[in-house]
Structures are given as C-alpha cells and as structure tokens.
Structure 1
Amino acid sequence: MNKFVFKILIFTILFLFLSIFIFFFLPYNPDNYLLAYNKKCDLLRQESSGSRIILVGGSNLAFGMDSKMIEDSLHINVINYGLHAGIGLKYMIDDICTYVKENDIIVFAPEYNFFFGKGAYGEGLTLSSIIYLSNGRTFGLLDKTQKYNVIQGLFDGIIVTKIKYSISVFLHRILRKEDTPDGYSLSGFDEYGDYCKHWSFVEKKYIKLPRKLEHFNYVFGEYFVKKIKELRTQCRVVIIPPVIIKEGFDVFKDNAEEVNAFLLKNDIPFLVPPQTHVAPIDYIYDGYYHANRKGVDFYTTCVIEELKDFLAK
C-alpha cells in the first residue's frame, strides 16, 4: 500500500513539474485566434477625440460585421470588440466599461446563450486563455464563478493548447495543407477587429444546430440591466439581436422572446425585434451565429440602417 501511494505521489509531482514547465516555457501559437483580444484592446486604448462605435458581443459580431461599411456610411470610427461567446457577457461588459468615453456609442449584440444557465460567465477554456494572454491584467474583474472557470480551464486552455502547437510546429511539413478557414487565426482579423479570412471561402453545407436553452439567469439579467443603465450615464448604448441562421432561431425562438421581454420590461429593449437579424442558411458560414460574406453584407446593412435611425433621435 505504501509503495502504491509513493508511486502516486511521484507521478503527481512529475505531472505538476511537467505542467509548470509547459505553462511557463513552451511557446504559445503567435497566430492564435484569441490573441485578437489584445489587438482589440489596443484599438480601444487609442486616443480619439471623436465618437466611436464599439461593437460588443461574441463571434456573431467577429464573423458578421464589415466595420468599414459602417464607418463609411455613418462617418464614425468603428471598433469591433466581438470575438468569442466563451469569454462570457459578464466579462465583456465589465471590460468594456474600463474603456468607455463620453462620445462613444456602445452597440451590444449578445448571443441568446448568455442569458441562460451559466453562459454569461464564460467557458473555462476560452476565459482562461484570455486571462493568460492578457497577462492577468483583467483578473480583478472576475467574480467567483468566473475565477473557478479560469482555474478549471487552465489545463486545456493553456497547457494542452501549447502542446498541440509545439507538435504541429514539429510536424509542420507533414501537416501542411491548402489554406482553409477552419483554423481561426489572429491574422484573419482586419484593422477594425472584423474576422474576414473566411469571406473568400465557400460556405459549409452542414450546420450543427443548437438545443433549446433552459433556465433564464435572472441574477445575471439584473446585473446586465444595472451595468447598461450605468453605461447610459456615460455614453450612448444600444442593444441589438445577434445574426442567426433561421434554423437556429427556430430552436431559440422562445428563448429570444424571453430575452426580449426581459429587456423590454427593464427599459433596455432590443433596438429591433429579434426576427430582424434572422438569416437564411446560405448566409451562414460554419455555425448558426457565423455569417459568410453574403451574411456579413446582410447583417451590416441592417445595423447601418438601424443605427442611422437611432443616432437621428
């Protein structure tokens, strides 16, 4: 028995030592998609005397916007903060509050998942990566649930990711293949924060559909309402529904109506009904929230017209 315990102890020590070595010394993919978070934060830190439109949400914005179209139409600088729903809406709104300026126009386009279950608090793998890649500077924004998610996601988010990258570099010649958008990358973003690498690729024919969401999170909902109303005292704020494939919206229809009713009840309604940004299947790339080039034109055109009306008030 003592020999068995000793072996377990030795194995645990070796495992911890190896994990620590990988965490601190193995390289992280310099073209990793999530590194775009730092790029977006750099855009937010830039000095600007005029108004800025800041788009806040998950990958429905990263994949779905042509910010140059918005900028050219409205003559206002645009920053697309949208990146990944796995960051969580709580982190997004807390983070964006640290960058807001008086003349800003903050446009939230939250995925419906954020308002149900624990979706608002992020996924361990993604959130831990964001904290790691930003050198922990935003760790103080996290609550207990988010900190737990970060700790839970450290192994897969950092250690496994570094191992996979090191192996891929070592086997680069074997793994080399034609360029595809399947491996999302930092280099796929333009200067506005839009992910545009996939615009020239043919859309996928099969889209995995979601399941209906359960258990509206009223605790987070009230927190979101509070933060939006605080932001409204500093700048202009608007909330729009995300772009989503029709087949996905059919699954989420009741969820979307529940979110819509909650926001309306709390005097922070969607700017337009959720159905407005529902897209046909040939407008979607590889996920029910990910637009292809046709979808980008559709979503961006909608948002331009909606913001024109909003800004004219």
Structure 2
Amino acid sequence: MRKFIVKTVIFFVVFGLLFFVGIMLPATPASKNNMIAYKTEKDSLLMHVATPRIVFVGGSNLVFGLDSEKVKSELGLNPINAALAINFGLVYMMDDVIPRLKEGDIVVLAPEYQHYFGKQAYGGNDLLRLLMDVQPSGFSVLRKEHIPNLIKGIPIYFQSKFIYSQYFYEKEKDVYGRHIFNEYGDSNFHWNLETRGFPEVHPIRGQFNYELINEIKAFDKVIEALGGSLFVTYPGCDMHSLETIKAQVGQVKKELEASGLQILGDPDRYAMESDMMFDQIYHLSKKGVDRRTNLLIEDLNQNKIFSQ
C-alpha cells in the first residue's frame, strides 16, 4: 500500500511539473502567427483610425465575410473590422472594444448564432490562447463567468505546446494566419482560393441566454453615451446549415426583434448559397463576401443616420 501511495505521489508531482512547464513555455510559432495574434493590430486601428468611423464587432463571420473598402466607398465612413473569432465570446469582444471606441462611432455587432445559447458568449480556447500568448492585459477585462470556459480550455492549450506541427509553421498554406488581413482588418487572403468542403453545423446546444440580450443592451447604452449608434445584424451563413439550426435561429430573431435594439436584416436575408461559401458555415468566398457586404450597405443606407 505504501509503495502505491509513493508511486501515486511521484506521478502527480511529475505530471504537475510537466503541466507547469507546458503552460509556461513561450508561444509556439503557429500560435505567434495565428490570426488571433493580429488582435494587437486591430486594437491599433481602433485607436488611430480617424472619425467618422464604422466599427464591426463579432466573430470570423466578419473576418471572412466583409469587404470594408466597399463599405468605405459606399457609406463614406472609415471602416474598422475589429472581429476575430467566435471562441473569444461575444461578452469579451464587447467589453474589450469599449475603451477604444470614439465619439460618434457607428458599431455593427454580428454575433454567430452559437453565441446566443448556453455559455458560449463567454469564450473558449481562442480566448485563453489570446490571453496566454498574445495579450495578457486582457485578463483585466474578464468576468467571473469567463473562468469555467477558460478552465475547460487549459488541457487543449497545454497539449498544443507538445504538438510537433505547432513548431513548423508554413505561412503560404495558412488561411488562418496573421498575414491574412488587409488594412481594414478583413481577410482577403482567401478571395482567390477555391471553395473547400466543410461539414454542416450540428444543432446548437444549450438554452437561450437571455442575459446576453441585456449585455447587448448595455453595450448599446455605452455607444449611445458616446453619441454613436449600435446596429445588430446576422451572420452570413450557409443556407443548408441554417435549416439544421432553424428553431434556434428563429428564437434569436424573435428575441432580437423584441429587444428594442436596431436590427439590420434577418437570418434568411443573410443566408448564402453553397457557391458563396469558403470553408466553414460562416466563412464566405469572394462571391459571398460581395453579396453579404452589399446587403449590409443596403440595410445601413435605410437608416437616416447615413443620409446626413
């Protein structure tokens, strides 16, 4: 029995030391060059781009689904695509952007549908990776609701330090790299690439998060206090996948329309055909980017604030 206890203690001590070393190792080349690492440049855009501005906040549906240059040409506003990834969580993305907003900013919020359910609005693996490898100052923005999701991501983060491929980065093959962004914060790297196959979305798990609607309303009040306006819109999404999550999408639409927030479009309007998709249900090809951008411009132009 004593030998068993000693071996058990030794195992946990060795494992604990290995785990600590793994967590504390520097960011791998793959992590340093991941699109997440571009957040520092996006923060710089938010700090330095002149007014009048339109700021896009959300996940990769905006990264891979917007032509900001066309927005600038059509609306006469300086665009900033501040979006990064769904696993940052919508609450963090809203809280983090607030200190960098300027007076009179127009903000377009485009959450992925998963954000509205369960605890997905509080982030995941990508948020942990950002905080550990790119921007530790982001810990100051966290709320207690983020902690369980970040704890769940620790094993994956730990394992990444011991994966061979993480140390041999091939930029030219990486459509999720730091190099994919243009001067507005859009990804245009994939615009000339062929469409790739992808699985349709699984049904969204979890109950509708009514508290998230209150969080968006609070975000709206902050922007209003700055003399700006918030518009909430829907992601460009593969229409076949939309059928799979039709019930949840319908609930999102119902709650948003009852919220009193300014809403752009509806889910069906932003449903994209298969030839408009790139490699995920929210990632659009150039054809899809053009359509989604044109729809957004049309919807924004219907608001009197853009005719001034």
- TM-score, scaled to structure 1: 0.89
The structural deviation recorded for 1:5 is: 2.0
Residue aligning to 1:267: 260
> Quick one: structure 1 residues 257 and 31, their matched pair in 2 at CA, closer, same or farther if it must change by over 3 Å?
same
User: How many residues of Structure 1 are paired with residues of Structure 2 in the alignment?
Assistant: 303
The answer as to 2:288 corresponding to 1:295 is yes
Shift of residue 206 of structure 1?
A: 4.2
What residue is the counterpart of 1:161 in the other structure?
160
Within the alignment, does 1:9 sit opposite 2:4 as a pair?
no
The Cα RMSD (Å) is 2.2
Structure-2 separation of matches of 1:161 and 1:212: 27
Q: Which residue of 2 aligns with 1:137?
A: 137
Kept after mapping to 2: 8 A contact 1:260/1:270 = no
Q: How has the CA–CA distance of structure 1 residues 141 and 169 changed in structure 2, closer, same or farther, with 3 Å as cutoff?
A: closer
Contact 1:260–1:269, Cα closer than 8 Å, also in 2:
no
| Separation in structure 1 between the aligned mates of residue 34 and residue 121 of structure 2, nearest angstrom | 23
The corresponding residue for 1:230 is 222
1:63-74 residue pairs with structure 2 within 5 A? 63-74=64-75
Tell me, in whole angstroms, the C-alpha distance in 2 between the residues paired with 1:2 and 1:40. Answer: 57
Residue identity (%):
29
Q: Are 1:33 and 2:28 matched, yes or no?
A: no
Change (3 A) 1:49 1:298: closer
Aligned position for 1:115 = 116
Shift of 1:269: 4.0
Unaligned runs of 5+ residues in structure 2 are none
CA contact (8 A) 2:25 2:161 kept: no
Distance 2:40 2:189 in 1: 18
Conserved 8 A contact 1:91-1:141: yes
CA deviations over 1:113-154 (Å, ceiling 9, x no partner): 11111121112x112112223442122322222022223313
Partners of 2:119 and 2:166 in 1: how far apart? 36
CA distance in 1, matches of 2:99, 2:75: 25
For residue 221 of structure 1, what is the aligned residue in structure 2? 213
TM-score, scaled relative to structure 2: 0.90
Q: Say whether residues 1:284 and 2:277 are aligned partners.
A: yes
Offset of 1:94 from its aligned partner? 1.0
For residues 41 and 22 of structure 2, the distance between their equivalents in structure 1, rounded to whole angstroms, comes to: 25
Q: Give the structure 1 partner of residue 55 of structure 2.
A: 54
Match of 1:203 in 2: 195
After TM superposition, where is structure 1 displaced by more than 4 Å over at least 4 residues in a row? none
Q: 1: CA distance between counterparts of 2:220 and 2:27? A: 39
Residue 309 (1) aligns with residue 306 (2): no
The aligned residue for residue 247 of structure 2 is 254
Measure, in 2, the Cα distance between the counterparts of 1:245 and 1:102.
35
| Partner SS state of residue 56, structure 1 | strand
